[in-house]
Amino acid sequence: MADKEKSELESGKIGLGTLLEVGLVIANSTKNKPSQPDGTGGGWTLDVKKLSWGLVGIVAQQVISGFTRRQKLKTLNKDLTAGLITEEDYKAGRRADSSPQKKSRFGLGLLIGAATGGVSYLLAMTPEERSQFFKRLEKATGGLTGIFNDLQGKPYSEDYEPK
């Protein structure tokens, strides 16, 4: 009976949304197989690189959600043992109004996640794609610098001579 009364927070099951995400990653990883010069071949194949990155992303998402679920459950258990919430509040996942909350580290986590994702993205590129990416980045930076210099009334380059 106690197992049936487990809250959704405690269950930690893989839901339909996660299964749909896995299906979409697999569908997005398919590509046309090139046909041979003699006309044989064709059909579909999996891009292993896309598939692996997509599945790694889903696994990371599940690990992070499991960690947050466990932290919330720990806080709810503390509130319940302290008598701040009732059993019904616990089952519904409601925290006490007076429950002390830790300072959020969302900004730091976002910064670390963005940096890790950016490095992973660059490492997954081929050297040609990486050089094109940096050329485009340099061109965009130069354009933005020119716009900001124009707004400040500065010349676009150091060798600019007004007429």
- pLDDT tens column, 44-92: 888 888 889 889 988 988 888 888 889 888 888 888 888 888 888 888 8
Tell me the pLDDT band of 157, cut-offs 50, 70 and 90: low
- pLDDT of 106: 79
Question: What does the pLDDT read at residue 137?
Answer: 92
Q: Rounded to an integer, what distance in angstroms lies between the CA atom of residue 142 and that of residue 69?
A: 45
Instruction: For residue 49, give both structure tokens.
Output: 């690189």
Find where tokens 């670390």 sit. Answer: 112
Tokens representing 131? 């050089």
Q: Smallest Cα–Cα separation from 89: which of 65, 101, 97, 117?
A: 97
CA distance linking residue 76 with residue 38, whole number of Å: 66
Range with the largest mean pLDDT of 22-31, 32-41, 127-136: 127-136
